[in-house]
Structure 1
Amino acid sequence: MLTTTARRASAAGLALAAALTTTPALATATSTAASTSTATATAKSSAGTGLDRYYNQRPGWGSCAKGPDDAMGRDLDKAGVQCADVLVPLDYADPRGRTITVAISRLKATDTRHRIGSILLNNGGPGGPAVQSPPDVRKMMKKTGPRYDIIGFDPRFVGRSTPLDCGWPVGTDIRSAGLSRASFERQVAFKKGLADKCRATSGSVLPHVSTRNTARDMDVIRGALGERKISYLGYSYGSYLGTVYTQMFPGKYDRFVLDGAIAPADYGPRLLKGSERENEQALSAWAAWAAKRHATYGLGSTRAAVLDTLDRIVAASARGPLTVGKGAGTFQLDDTQVPFLFIAGNSDDTPETRASFAEQVSVLAKAAKGQPTELSPEFAAALKSALTGGSPNSGVQAAIICGDKPAPRDPETYWKDIQRSRAEHPIMGPVANNISTCAFLDTPREQPTQVRRDAKMLIVAATGDPRTTYRSSLDLHKQLPSSKLLTLKGANRHALYGLYGNDCVDNKVNTYLATGKLPKKDETCVKQAD
């Protein structure tokens, strides 16, 4: 949703935006006969399946630093974290075939007398790494942290785990459809071009990029760690991964915390579809905050005036790209890119994040008037990453999202949804309903996981979550009757435990992790005053 900062970016990050994050799901799914038998064999790890060598391996723990320039690795070494690679099959239906490695890290329990076991981490995204996260999570867990071996891992094809690179010239494919049919047609061409690049550079592995395979990797990690059961902390997309694991590997899990959880039906190539109302409610709440600070940001003295400023910025970007920054740090932003920035800055209602977002909107408002602008280092870096600079893992988020559920192929399907959404959701509708890169990639090999068995877990959710909506968390809770729901009222925030600073939420999660006992009934916390 990383280090505390990185985890926020991953769990709350756009990846979500649309799907981002969003979503999740689960289950013991119906799949092809071959994949079903493979999953069963994996769960049992029985002789003759060809998976024994993976389950029976023992990690070669060592330094996390991969060289003199590996600052993250050096920091992990200083914190007492050990790193290793775990071997897994590329294709679980062919365990004797090609292999890949999954990078893991471990911060060992220091209270060995009261050790509980290993807890695995996933920071969302999808595509968020977690090798770097154990030191931060130990701090979040407070007195309970020393009782766990805290295990970070980068999911297959992410970060240090046989990374996938689609060769994209951008950091994300999330865009608005814009204000016109012409801008939508440009999006169709843009998404098709990204899909073609990914197929050309990574086509041989794309069929094996899926949440079900990542869940299988998790169980291999469990076996390699010598654990009968594992505990788990998953944010955003990580909630989906966690639910999938409980369905595929019943009896292999202990204490599961799913934060910013998403229900099965809501996970897939159109992850943001259905979150328009929550996103615009969060945007409206931010507008009221900014209006009280009109003297600082100049965006309008009422909520309505601030929202009108956003509309004017989008309209101006449709007439011609806005120029922001100067010199080598200049960016051109059109009406497919500006609304993305409005979503990206709107998944957190803390004063610090709201102030940062208001500063960015002030820059865009000046650009809409043709005035010169200067970017903060943070805003410039974010624009470069999202809009111009593909990372070594560029495209992995889309590949994961596309690998679980098929997307509609016909562009007209998206255009009709976009047009229907404009009246009620003029900014968010064309983003949430825009055509996906998945429309141009191959259909996944397996059927999506379905929730077919109950699972005990703690689901954490904010009532105003603009990414994985509270409605979706409630739906998942209903599908898992033995789960308990911990609700934070009054927060427009995605990802809570250890990240948001709500003592009530943090203490209740830590009590569960310490005792293994879910509360007797669903519980509610209230947002603390700013």
Structure 2
Amino acid sequence: MGVAGAMLALSIPAPASAAEQAGPGASAIAKADMSSVQWKSCPSYSDEVIQSLRVTREQLPAFRTQMKRLECGTVSVPLDHRDPTGREIDIAVTRLAATDQAHRLGALAVLPGGPGQSGYLDPVRTVLNKEMARLNGRYDIIGFDPRGVGYSTKVACPLSQGSPQEPGAVTKRAARKMYDAQVAANQKCGRSDPAFLGRLTTDNVAEDLDLVRGALGERELNLLGLSWGTSLGMVYRSLFPERTGRAFLDSTAPPWTDLMRHTEGSAQAAERNFGRMAAWLARRKEAYGLGATARQVREQVAKLVRDYDKNPRTYTDLPRPVDGSAVADLAKRVSTDWPRAGKALSELRTATGATAPPTVKELLGGGQMTGAPLPGAPETLNMTMNWAVKCNEDGSRPGFTTAWRAYQQLVKRQPATGRPWGLGGAMCQGWPLPVQRPTLKRGSGSLVLSGHLHEFMSAYDWTLQTRRAVGGTVYTVADDVHVSAIRVPECAADVVTYFETGRIDRGCEGVGIPD
């Protein structure tokens, strides 16, 4: 995220007639204390729907108990915060009130990932975690669906993105076909409802959140940001420093939004992490047979990628052929999957027959469509919102020649894990709406940036870059698992202590490597 100009001076409210000139945050400041929550009954869900949300059968009673405590409502906000008297949209909000009101510390908003993920049930998810449940003692836990998602006002683009990649090595002709299909999809989506889609940005979500804060009657918000929620947390803090309390941001996003740069950084981190996986597999050469040294394992897997790209294998029980991209996908799995991924790679070395080897089928057999969502199930991810936020904020939007050259270099530099990235860095070419950089500003308030040392979805280097851009303290998790800090008891205990006291150490071990 690039720094998008000077922030509004909060101590000098702008006249209503000058809202557009006042800059990001002006209209939210003017309207925050006039908003109110329209409370209503919370949705009810069947056991089947709840379990589809990754709630175990054992957790069902606790989930239902917390749903009885959950408060649900909506807050009306301007579609365009520069025009506070114009069209309004609804933001869906939830709250679990602190159980110890006598020692209440305030409100803590959980900022969901994506962009495009729902945060509506995040308060309930949070307290299902034994360690994180302590937060609800002294904090109201606030959840919400960002604009464009779930129970909030949203739209749907008329087309899916791009076209599927053909099996086998990506030729220049195939890449051009994918590129042109993406351009057409972007143009059709962006032109379908530009008034709404053009307002799907991190800045606008942050301004919505401040109106939610005012509607709840809170002087400030404490922030727990996860994945894309870390970007949202940084922007909220930049726009509203005086209204931001403690902030813990896990799997920190970079301080820029160009997708080509994002793809390159993730790909490099994935290849580095494969070096750890290769060493782990080499120490177990009898079990996996992929080599006795990390170098031998690297060479064996890179050879498998090349072989399966030249001759993709079709299995009757898999939704698509296994090619080099599928092999490389196995090589970039996180450490919790190394035993199964190693077994699948081993199986692919000698696979014969019409059906896929068992572990290959287990890991690669889930890509097919599974039909319509369960009746009554809440939306968990809105791809239109994901698409629009990324493309509204992506300043790279490369031409085909640039995108093709970057892809070739990526595959050459990352021979084991580079194939699945495709032309991902060129996702937003042809997007017809203007680039809108998120607002970032260095601040002095309490901020913890949590980075995972070996992760590739949010590369650790980005945490350090973000600290240089916005300040804060780095909390290092020594694993490769995205947003694991709130799931590992040792790390989660640190998170809770931080929100209770404002103090935190420098990191935790995170998810351990399998024995």
The TM-score, its normalising length taken from structure 1, stands at: 0.78
**Structure 2 residue 44 is the aligned partner of structure 1 residue 65:** yes
Query: What's the secondary structure of 1:162's corresponding residue?
Result: coil
Contact 1:173/1:398, CA 8 A, preserved across alignment: no
Q: How far does residue 283 in structure 1 lie from its aligned partner after superposition?
A: 1.7
**Structure 2 residue 229 is the aligned partner of structure 1 residue 244:** no
Tell me, in whole angstroms, the C-alpha distance in 1 between the residues paired with 2:201 and 2:81. Answer: 12
Matches within 5 A, 1:462-481: 462-481=452-471
- Structure-2 change in CA distance of 1:395 and 1:287 (3 Å): farther
Q: Which residue pairs with 2:440 in the alignment?
A: 450
Matches within 5 A, 1:349-360: 349-350=335-336, 353-358=337-342
Contact 1:26/1:450, CA 8 A, preserved across alignment: yes
Q: Which residue pairs with 1:513 in the alignment?
A: 499
Tell me, in whole angstroms, the C-alpha distance in 1 between the residues paired with 2:168 and 2:22. Answer: 42
Deviations 1:350-396 (A, max 9, x none): 3xx323434554676567x6652167786467412599999983343
**Structure 2 residue 151 is the aligned partner of structure 1 residue 133:** no
Tell me, in whole angstroms, the C-alpha distance in 2 between the residues paired with 1:258 and 1:392. Answer: 20
Tell me, in whole angstroms, the C-alpha distance in 1 between the residues paired with 2:227 and 2:244. Answer: 19
- Structure-2 change in CA distance of 1:321 and 1:169 (3 Å): farther
Q: Which residue pairs with 2:486 in the alignment?
A: 498
Tell me, in whole angstroms, the C-alpha distance in 2 between the residues paired with 1:470 and 1:68. Answer: 38
Q: How far does residue 512 in structure 1 lie from its aligned partner after superposition?
A: 1.0
Contact 1:349/1:492, CA 8 A, preserved across alignment: yes
- Structure-2 change in CA distance of 1:220 and 1:234 (3 Å): same
Q: How far does residue 455 in structure 1 lie from its aligned partner after superposition?
A: 3.7
Give the percent of matched residue pairs that are identical in Structure 1 and Structure 2.
25
Deviations 1:216-262 (A, max 9, x none): 11111111111110011111221111001111112011110011112
Q: Which residue pairs with 1:21 in the alignment?
A: none
Q: Which residue pairs with 1:384 in the alignment?
A: 368
Query: What's the secondary structure of 1:85's corresponding residue?
Result: strand
Q: Which moved more, 1:218-227 or 1:314-323?
A: 314-323
- Structure number with greater Rg is 2
Contact 1:26/1:241, CA 8 A, preserved across alignment: no
Q: Which residue pairs with 1:56 in the alignment?
A: 35
Match of 1:438 among 424, 428, 438: 428
Unaligned runs of 5+ in 1: 1-24, 46-50
Contact 1:460/1:496, CA 8 A, preserved across alignment: no
Tell me, in whole angstroms, the C-alpha distance in 2 between the residues paired with 1:190 and 1:366. Answer: 36
Tell me, in whole angstroms, the C-alpha distance in 1 between the residues paired with 2:165 and 2:389. Answer: 14
Contact 2:260/2:425, CA 8 A, preserved across alignment: no
**Structure 2 residue 208 is the aligned partner of structure 1 residue 217:** yes
Tell me, in whole angstroms, the C-alpha distance in 1 between the residues paired with 2:301 and 2:198. Answer: 40
Q: How far does residue 130 in structure 1 lie from its aligned partner after superposition?
A: 1.6
Q: Which residue pairs with 1:9 in the alignment?
A: none
Q: How far does residue 69 in structure 1 lie from its aligned partner after superposition?
A: 7.8
The total of aligned residue pairs comes to 485
Tell me, in whole angstroms, the C-alpha distance in 2 between the residues paired with 1:164 and 1:378. Answer: 35
Matches within 5 A, 1:60-459: 60-65=39-44, 71=50, 77-79=64-66, 80-138=69-127, 139=129, 140-169=131-160, 178-199=169-190, 201-265=192-256, 268=259, 270-293=261-284, 299=290, 302-319=293-310, 321-326=312-317, 330-334=319-323, 337-338=325-326, 341-342=329-330, 346=333, 348-350=334-336, 353-358=337-342, 361=345, 371-373=354-356, 379=363, 382-384=366-368, 393-429=382-418, 431=421, 434-444=424-434, 446-459=436-449
Q: Which residue pairs with 1:42 in the alignment?
A: 27
- Structure-2 change in CA distance of 1:379 and 1:88 (3 Å): farther
One-letter code aligned to 2:96? L
- Structure-2 change in CA distance of 1:123 and 1:305 (3 Å): farther
The TM-score, its normalising length taken from structure 2, stands at: 0.81
- Structure-2 change in CA distance of 1:425 and 1:479 (3 Å): same
- Structure-2 change in CA distance of 1:43 and 1:88 (3 Å): closer
Tell me, in whole angstroms, the C-alpha distance in 1 between the residues paired with 2:341 and 2:240. Answer: 42
One-letter code aligned to 2:427? T
Unaligned runs of 5+ in 2: 9-17, 374-378
- Structure-2 change in CA distance of 1:303 and 1:423 (3 Å): same
Contact 1:131/1:152, CA 8 A, preserved across alignment: yes
One-letter code aligned to 1:41? A
RCO higher in 1 or 2 (8 Å CA, sep ≥ 6)? 1
Q: How far does residue 492 in structure 1 lie from its aligned partner after superposition?
A: 2.3
- Root-mean-square deviation (CA), in Å? 3.9
Query: What's the secondary structure of 1:84's corresponding residue?
Result: strand
Q: How far does residue 70 in structure 1 lie from its aligned partner after superposition?
A: 5.3
Tell me, in whole angstroms, the C-alpha distance in 2 between the residues paired with 1:357 and 1:129. Answer: 30
One-letter code aligned to 1:474? L
Query: What's the secondary structure of 2:82's corresponding residue?
Result: coil
Tell me, in whole angstroms, the C-alpha distance in 1 between the residues paired with 2:37 and 2:372. Answer: 41
Contact 1:167/1:395, CA 8 A, preserved across alignment: no
Q: How far does residue 120 in structure 1 lie from its aligned partner after superposition?
A: 1.0
- Structure-2 change in CA distance of 1:175 and 1:90 (3 Å): farther
